[in-house]
Amino acid sequence: MTRRVRIDGSRSRPAVRRGAQVGQVRAAGQVTSAFVAFAVLLGMTMASAGCRSGAEIESRESLQERAQKYLELKQKRDWVAIYEGLLDPELQPKLKREVFLKRREAAFDVLGFVVTSTKEEEGGTGKVVAKIDAMIPVLNPRGGTTMLRKELEEPQQWVTRDGRWYIQLES
């Protein structure tokens, strides 16, 4: 048993209740040690969970969640995020970023959307159908354009690459 020394130099005794047997003191110390070990283990577990990369967390996203994210970004017109994070990586060498972004300049405005169905198929492919509330530019016979509000049904083709869903776009 080690003795503790106070700042003033006097010695203090470990806290033991009078009449307590030696085994009871050890049990209390063991419980404290077990609690400290548990707290350290819990802290390490939480720290390692917090260190996961965004890609690891996103890799578990379902087709429904990825389609929802795609439509949210489309509504915000965030084409760069779509190209970098949701477009099939195997299409990117064929469809250069500048070309992809240029074609999206004339895209219609998405006012709202609902993912109506998702279907995962064999071979790592999937189909999504979304209803989109959009403002579509229509050429006016007298010149200029008129915006027409229309509800569209948008079928989408998706594919998995390394356990992560990506949209396949023509251009």
Class of the domain covering 61-168 = alpha beta
Q: Where are the beta strands (DSSP E) in the chain?
A: 4-5, 11-12, 109-121, 125-139, 145-161, 164-168
- Residue 90: per-residue pLDDT: 94
Determine contact, residues 132/107, Cβ cutoff 8 Å.
no
pLDDT of residue 50: 45
What pLDDT does residue 107 have? Answer: 86
Q: What's the pLDDT at 52?
A: 40
Strand order in the sheet with 164-168: 109-121, 125-139, 145-161, 164-168
At 161 the pLDDT is 95
Give the pLDDT confidence score for residue 53 in this predicted structure.
41
Q: According to the model, what pLDDT value does residue 170 have?
A: 80
Cβ proximity of 113 and 133 under 8 Å: yes
| Model pLDDT, residue 55 | 42
Domain residue extents for the chain: 4-50, 61-168
| Cα distance between residue 121 and residue 12, in whole Å | 72
Could you report the average pLDDT of every consecutive run of 10 residues in the chain (171 residues)?
A: 55 55 52 52 46 44 96 96 96 93 90 96 95 93 90 97 93 70
CB 58 within 8 A of CB 165: no
Q: What is the pLDDT of residue 61?
A: 87
